[in-house]
Amino acid sequence: MLDMPSRPARTTVAGPFRPRVPPPLTRPLGLFAFLKKVRENPIATWMDAHFEEFVVAGETAMGRVTVVSDPALVRYLLVERAANYRKDDLQKRVLAPGLGNGLLTAEGDEWRLQRRTLAPIFSARHVAGFVSQMDAAGARLGRRLARRDGATVDVALEMTRATLDVLERTIFTQGLPGDPDALGRAITRLLESIGPIDPLDVFGFPAFVPRLGRLRARPALRFFAEVVDTLLEQRKAALARGEAPHDLMTLLLAAQDPETGRGLSDIEVKANIVTFIAAGHETTANALTWALYCLSQDEAARTRVEAEADAAAGPDGALRLDRLPFTKAVMEETMRLFPPVPFLSRQALREDRLGRVKIPRNSTVIIAPWVMHRHRKLWDEPDAFMPERFFGSARDAIERFAYLPFGAGPRICIGQSFSVQEATLVLAQVARAVRLTLPADHPPVTPLHRVTLRPKDGLRMVAQRRT
C-alpha cells in the first residue's frame, strides 16, 4: 500500500521527459556573483554560448580558461596532444591527501607505470568475472527495497550502499573475519572525511594552510589503513597457500608491469584500493540515482526496463547481462544528461593553438561533459531523456568524442566497463523488485555539482513491491 500520493509519471504521449536543470545564463556574471555561484553550484554558471559554440575562451577568476566542445578538438586535446595537457592541479589538491599516489592522482612516469600495471586488472575478462558479485549486490538491494513496500526510501543513500557493497565484494571478497562490519565502517568514515571540496583548495591556497576537512580525515585514514593492512597480510598468506579468492585485492597483489615485470609496492596497492573506492562508489551511485528518477518520469521506458529485467532472470533470479541492452541504454542516456563527472580540466604545458584561438602556456582548458552532452550542435533534443539513442544500431551514430562520461585518451576512466556492467545489473535488479515513484510533495529534483552530480535535495521515492 502506498501511504503517499504519487506524482503521475509522464508518458511518451506527452513527449519525452525533460528533466529540470539550472537554465544557462544569458549574460556573464560579475566576479563576486560568479564566485558565489561557483560555490553554490558550478553547473549554474554555464552560459548559453557554451551550449551553442564549440570554443569559448575568456578571462575568469581562475585566469584564462578555454572551454572546448568540438569533438574533433576534444580528440586532439585528450588523445593526440595529451602530453601537452596535464591534469589540472585542482584534482590533485582536492584528492591527493586522501588518495595517496593512486592512479587517479599520480603523474608522469609514476602514472604511466601504474596504468600499465593496472590496465589488465580491468580487462573485459576480469570485469566479466565480477558479474555474479554485482548481480548479488543488486539482488540484495532489491530485497531490501521490497521489504520497504509502501514506504518512502532515500534512493541516493540506497544506491550508495549498493555501490559500496559491490566494491567491498569485488575488492575484498569478504571483510574481516570476526567483525563483518569493520570494513564497511572504515570505508564510510574514510569517504565522509574526503568527500567535500574545501574552498581553500579551489583557490589554490598552499598546502600548509590547515584544512578542516583534512584534519577530520586523519583518524579515518588511519583506521582505514589499519583495517586494510590486516586484510593485506591475511591475503598474502592466502596467496602463498594458493587459496586466494578472485577479487581486486588478489589481482593488485599479483599485478606486474608487462614491460619490466615489476609488481606494486604495498603502498601502491593501498593507494589504489582507496582510489577505486573513492572514484567508483559515488559516481556509479549517482548515475543509478538519476536513472531511477528518469525512469519514474517516463512510463514507457520504465515498463520496458521492468519487462527486460524480468525476462533476463534465470530460475535462480540471477540476471543474464547480455539480455539487458535497453537497461544499459537507459544507463548511458542517464549519464549523458547527468554525467557524474561534469567537467574535466587540463593545464597547457606549452602554448598551443586551436584554429584561431590561442591557448597560452599554463592556462586552463575545460572539456565539460555537462556542456557537450547538451550541446545544441551535437544532439537532437539535447535536453530530453531518450534512451533509444543508445539502443541497437542508433548507438553507432553517436560520435565517439561527443559522449564523454568516462573521459577519453590515456587518462580515460579505468573502471568504465566495470561501472557500466555494475549499474546495468543493479538497475535491472531494482526494476525486478520494486517500482519507485516520486511523491507529489517532493521538492523539485535538480542537479547539484559537488565533486559529482547529485540531486540537490536528495531523492526520496515510494517503493512498491513488484513480485
Give me the least distance between CB of 415 and ligand HEM, in Å please: 2
Give me the least distance between CB of 411 and ligand HEM, in Å please: 4
Q: Which is nearer to ligand HEM, 324 or 462 (CB)?
A: 324
Alpha helices in 41-154 (DSSP H): 48-52, 71-75, 89-99, 108-118, 124-128, 131-147
Q: Which three cell numbers stand for residue 326?
A: 535497453
Q: Is the Cβ–Cβ distance between 426 and 138 less than 8 Å? A: yes
Binding site for ligand HEM (CB under 6 A): 87, 103-104, 115, 275-276, 279-280, 283-284, 287, 340-341, 344, 405-407, 411, 413-415, 418-419
Q: Which residues contact 223 (CB under 8 A, 6 or more apart)?
A: 186, 189, 190
In angstroms, the CA 90 to CA 96 distance is 10
Q: Cell 564510510, residue?
A: 188
Beta bridge partners of 153: 461
Q: Which is nearer to ligand HEM, 344 or 463 (CB)?
A: 344
Give me the least distance between CB of 458 and ligand HEM, in Å please: 19
Q: Is the Cβ–Cβ distance between 436 and 462 less than 8 Å? A: yes
Give me the least distance between CB of 169 and ligand HEM, in Å please: 12
Alpha-carbon separation of residue 403 from 45, 206, 400, 412, 446 (angstroms): 21, 35, 6, 12, 21
Q: Which is nearer to ligand HEM, 224 or 276 (CB)?
A: 276
Q: Which residues contact 188 (CB under 8 A, 6 or more apart)?
A: 164
Query: Taking CB positions, which residue lies at the least distance from ligand HEM?
Result: 415
Q: Which three cell numbers stand for residue 117?
A: 600495471
Residue 58, Cβ density class (10 Å: 0-12 exposed, 13-18 middle, ≥19 buried): exposed
Q: Which is nearer to ligand HEM, 66 or 419 (CB)?
A: 419
Q: Which is nearer to ligand HEM, 98 or 437 (CB)?
A: 98
Give me the least distance between CB of 466 and ligand HEM, in Å please: 25
Give me the least distance between CB of 88 and ligand HEM, in Å please: 8
Q: Which is nearer to ligand HEM, 161 or 435 (CB)?
A: 161
In angstroms, the CA 55 to CA 76 distance is 13
Alpha-carbon separation of residue 423 from 245, 284, 415, 439 (angstroms): 23, 7, 12, 24
In angstroms, the CA 49 to CA 46 distance is 8
Give me the least distance between CB of 289 and ligand HEM, in Å please: 11
Q: Which is nearer to ligand HEM, 104 or 459 (CB)?
A: 104
In angstroms, the CA 210 to CA 199 distance is 12
Q: Cell 586532439, residue?
A: 76
Give me the least distance between CB of 206 and ligand HEM, in Å please: 23
Q: Which is nearer to ligand HEM, 142 or 415 (CB)?
A: 415
Amino acid letter for position 10: R
Report the sign of the C-alpha dihedral through residues 295, 334, 25, 202, in that order: positive
Q: Which is nearer to ligand HEM, 247 or 298 (CB)?
A: 247
Give me the least distance between CB of 455 and ligand HEM, in Å please: 16
